[in-house]
Structure 1
Amino acid sequence: MKIGELSQQTGVSVRSLRHYEHCGLLTSVRQANGYREYSPLAVETVESIKLYLNLGLTTEQIAGFLTCVLQNKEAFCSEVLPVYHKKLADIDRQIIELSQIRINLLDRIASLTKTEPEPNI
């Protein structure tokens, strides 16, 4: 199938598909006219990529285990769980940092909106 067909079937832009291929997540065969030709399995590959991107993983992280996941079940790929644990730790750290920033902003807003007491005359 051509890149446009793959894009339609998966809902992923042609630009993103080219990016996935550049990152080594997706493969195609070049026809004599230079067009990319994807196997029918490319749909499953792109759907898997979408799943992992929606979990907040990077294309680099996905590249580390995608082949294993596509050939086996996720539970059999030892590379996946450490990536999940690291991502979860990163998210927990970000939540703590954002919570502190929120508290700082609330304090600053409160200090700026406080009305000054009127002087006693």
Structure 2
Amino acid sequence: MKIGELSKITGVSIRSLRYYEEQGILIPMRLSNGYRVYNETAIDQVHTIKFYLDLGLSIEKISGFLHCVLKNKETFCKEVLPIYEQKLEEIEKQLETLQMIRLNLMDRVAAIKEEGLK
């Protein structure tokens, strides 16, 4: 299938598919005229890439374990666990920061409301 078809089937833009190719995580075959051609496995590959991107992982991180998870179950890929742990740590820090911002805003709102009542 051509890149437009893959884009339509997966819901991923042609631009993104080309970017995946530039990054070496999606490798099409090339026809003699230079057109990209993808086999059916590319659909699962793109869905897998999208899944990991939706988890907030970078293309760099994904490229480190993508081959393994496409061949095996995720649980058999040792490379995934440290990346998940690191991402969870990042999320925890972000949640702490958001909680501090939330409390600060709540205090400010309360102070403004209190001043407005005087």
Unaligned segments of structure 2, at least 5 residues? none
Corresponding residue for residue 34 of structure 2? 34
The one-letter code matched in structure 2 to 1:101 is I
Helix, strand or coil for the counterpart of 1:53? helix
> Which one has a larger percent helix, Structure 1 or Structure 2?
2
- Between 1:109-118 and 1:43-52, the stretch displaced more is 109-118
CA deviations on 1:46-73 (whole Å, 9 max, x unpaired) are 0111111121111111111001111111
Q: 1:27 to 1:117 in 2, by over 3 A?
A: closer
- The count of residues paired between Structure 1 and Structure 2 equals 118
Which structure has the greater CA radius of gyration?
Answer: 1
Compute the RMSD of aligned alpha carbons.
1.5
The one-letter code matched in structure 1 to 2:41 is L
Corresponding residue for residue 94 of structure 2? 94
Separation in 2, partners of 1:115, 1:69? 58
Separation in 2, partners of 1:110, 1:46? 48
With the length of structure 1 as denominator, give the TM-score of the two structures: 0.89
Corresponding residue for residue 2 of structure 1? 2
Aligned-residue sequence identity (percent) comes to 54
Unaligned segments of structure 1, at least 5 residues? none
CA deviations on 1:20-57 (whole Å, 9 max, x unpaired) are 11121101122222211112211110011111112111
Separation in 1, partners of 2:105, 2:22? 41
